[in-house]
Amino acid sequence: MREQVLRVEDLRVEFRIRAEWYPAVDGISFALDRNETLALVGESGCGKSVTALSIMGLVPEPQGRVSAGRIVLDGTDLRTIDETKFEALRGDRMTMIFQEPMTSLNPVMSIGTQVAEALRVHRGMSRGDAEAKALAVLEEVKIPSAKHRFHDYPHQFSGGMRQRVMIAMALACEPTLLLADEPTTALDVTIQAQVLGLLADLKGRHGMAMLFITHNLGVVAQIADRVAVMYAGQIVEEAPVHEIFTRPAHPYTRALFSAIPRMDRAEQMLAAILGRVPPLTDMPKGCRFAPRCPLRREGCEAPQVLAAAAPQHLARCHIATNTFAKELARA
């Protein structure tokens, strides 16, 4: 039986630009079960990181605000609790791995002290017990010679090792929810593969739910159970990972796949997606991808809703949902 860890309902996050409020995340909904990984994918500027910051209660005020929706973690609506209770949850029941570890780690604190700090704050451990547990966690994330490097500083670690330290800090208190915001972007492919394998192994061992944010579809294929594709602040497609890769429905998802180079072809033309993600101040009234979509036609000028394209497969596109419905009728 599945155990739901996180539920996001009609989330709307706005930012103030020239005294007006504009939505960066506009009415998204999704759920996440224990021991499940949901990949949130899309171009830069689509609202992926803002979604994660909203869950963590880190949207910068007064320039930004969560204006609508519910964020429910283990039955607790996070929008109804005060900052003191939120601080108790961060680093304990929910944690986040940020994109660039060098800017997330404190340069004047040793690695071991930073990992142990979460245990002292959230578990009330003594310094000795916290450091012993921190060392065990550093060994779990495969820091070489962890005992000897416990008192080293962030600048003495490579990028891959710093990312492992960030993972250790996130897992120290054994959270139920892990948010990973493009944790492999700055790493080379070999270290990236090691980090992804480590995250998958630790997720299974600890039974966490993981929201994995990325723009790399190769990473998605390796780590995700389900995929939600975001564009211009909305989820435009959601399905199990094998469905997304074998039968992408939304034109935007298909365009993302078309832009990936194929290793089995000697000569090929890479397909670029014309145009750019619309700015917050100038969102299209209907389908937000329509100005860039090669399949646009009558009906695209109206707002689109997330509807069933197939069983367990949702798409925000009247063309995609109608096409899939006809295919199912012929089957």
For 173-217, the three-class secondary structure string (H helix, E strand, C coil) is CCCCEEEEECCCCCCCHHHHHHHHHHHHHHHHHHCCEEEEEECCH
* Residue-wise pLDDT tens digits, 91-142: 889 999 887 766 788 999 999 999 999 899 898 899 999 999 999 999 988 8
pLDDT for res 327: 59
Q: State pTM to two decimals.
A: 0.90
pLDDT for res 170: 87
- % of the chain exceeding 70 in pLDDT: 95
pLDDT for res 20: 93
Which residue carries 């564009």 as its tokens?
A: 231
pLDDT for res 186: 67
Q: Which residues pair with 226 in a beta bridge?
A: 38, 240
- The answer to whether residue 123 is domain-embedded is no
pLDDT for res 211: 95
- The answer to whether residue 268 is domain-embedded is yes
Confidence at 33, pLDDT banded by 50, 70, 90: very high
Helix (H, G, I), strand (E, B) or coil at 300: coil
- The answer to whether residue 47 is domain-embedded is no
User: How many CA atoms lie within 13 Å of 217's alpha carbon, on the beta-carbon side?
Assistant: 21
pLDDT for res 142: 85
Arithmetic mean of pLDDT, 203-218 = 88
Residues 6+ apart with CB under 8 A from 275: 291, 292
- The answer to whether residue 41 is domain-embedded is no
* Residue-wise pLDDT tens digits, 47-90: 999 999 999 999 988 899 999 999 999 999 999 999 899 888 88
- The answer to whether residue 326 is domain-embedded is yes
Q: Which domain holds residue 316?
A: 248-331
User: Which run of H or of E encompasses 58?
Assistant: none
* Residue-wise pLDDT tens digits, 265-302: 677 777 788 888 899 999 998 899 999 998 888 888 88
Look at residue 218 and tell me whether its pLDDT is greater than 90. Answer: no
Residue 222, token pair as written in the block: 């390796």
- The answer to whether residue 64 is domain-embedded is no
Look at residue 328 and tell me whether its pLDDT is greater than 70. Answer: no
pLDDT for res 184: 78
- The answer to whether residue 129 is domain-embedded is no
CA distances (Å), origin 227, targets 40, 42, 202, 260: 6, 11, 20, 17
The CA-based angle 55-60-61, given to 5 degrees, is 115
- When divided into structural domains, the chain yields a total of 1
Residue 94 to residue 73: CA distance in whole angstroms: 9
pLDDT for res 326: 60
3-7, 52-56, 159-163, 243-247: lowest mean pLDDT where? 159-163
Of 160, 183, 162, give the one whose Cα is nearest residue 115: 162
